[in-house]
Amino acid sequence: MSLRSNLGRVKGLGSAKQGVHHWRVQRLSALALIPLSLWFVTALMGLVTAPHSAVVAWLAQPHITVLLLALVTALFWHAQLGLQVVIEDYIHRPGRQIAAQLVVRAGAILGALAALVAILKISLGIS
Amino acid sequence: MSPVKPLSPHLQIYRPQLTSVLSITHRITGIALSIGTCVLLYWLLSVAAGPEQYAKAQTVLRCWLVRVALIGWTWAFFYHLCNGIRHLFWDAGYGFALGTAYKSGYAVLVASVIFTGLIWACVVSQQGAPL
Ligand code: HEM
């Protein structure tokens, strides 16, 4: 038995073939987040009572800067891809759906850029 | 034009089970964590803004309301992380047997609570006060 509706069969519409890429990036970002987020949370435990100068000194080490940039990129990417699916599942009116996707995407991109600039600013000693 | 499609039963007629509750919890924690990234951003921006702004952020992050949110966020993080690993095993084709799905589900719950406890025990032991 075919699961396609009569209308669907007539129109001959298939998927846009974008799903596999989305799925793959969502899993890849999840895989990257396992070590990165665990490292960050444990690293934070060493900064609980640290003064500003110590936080800056920690962050400015090249390998820490690189790991933080990677964490922020994977994090915002993963969150945006995840929220996209949630919106697709619950918001069905086309106009609202597109508006919600745009807001989440813009928020994720702006948030990611702000975080990346902040990390670079601290790391390069620009004040 | 009447599509003869098999429909899955409506959500309301299902009795909640551990597996279904854990599944929706993954989604809820994912949304909560996405909101939580704003806190990470706030922290990074405060470090970049200099010692005074950072001191201000420290006070904000230590007020009890934010503290409670942070503890909840810590649990959401460990839950989503552990359950995410469970998801990735499923994606690779492992762990589908009903017994295994229940066992891994309980393991995720226990692990998330233990990790959250460890993190906050570590914070409290350094700050000398719970809140
Ligand atoms: C800490 C920051 C994280 C945020 C903000 C976040 C956010 C999200 C969101 C919003 C979703 C969509 C939920 C849904 O569709 O039901 C999601 C799904 C997912 N997350 Fe995360 N996540 C984070 C960390 C992780 C980590 C560390 C892993 C690694 C194991 C992970 C693994 C997954 C997987 C596998 C899915 C897809 C689940 C499915 O197929 O329904 N996430 N995440």
In a domain, B5, yes or no: no
Burial A12-27 (b: 16+ CB within 10 A, else e): eeeeeeeeeeeeeebb
pLDDT at residue B1 tops 60? no
Measure A126 CA to nearest chain B CA, in Å: 9
Residue with tokens 């745009």: A102
How far, in Å, are A53, B52, B59 from residue A56 at the CA level?
A: 5, 13, 18
Measure A73 CA to nearest chain B CA, in Å: 12
Q: Is the minimum CB–CB distance between B54 and chain A shorter than 8 Å? A: yes
CATH number of the domain bearing residue B23: 1.20.1300.10
Percent of chain A whose predicted confidence (pLDDT) is above 70: 95
Contact list in A for residue B1 (CB cut-off 8 A) is 5-7
Report the predicted TM-score, pTM, of the whole model to 2 decimal places.
0.90
Of ligand 1's listed atoms, the one at least distance from the Cα of B37 is: 5
pLDDT one-digit tens code per residue, B42-68: 999 999 999 999 999 999 999 999 999
Domain range list for chain A? 17-124
- Please give the pLDDT value at position B89: 97
What value, to the nearest 5°, has the Cα angle with vertex B33 and ends A63 and B65?
A: 105
- Domain limits for position B86: 18-127
Q: Is the minimum CB–CB distance between B34 and chain A shorter than 8 Å? A: yes
B2 falls in which pLDDT band (50, 70, 90)?
low
CATH class, domain A17-124, is mainly alpha
For chain A, report the end-to-end CA distance as a whole number of angstroms: 66
In a domain, B50, yes or no: yes
In a domain, B6, yes or no: no
In a domain, B89, yes or no: yes
Give the total number of structural domains in chain B: 1
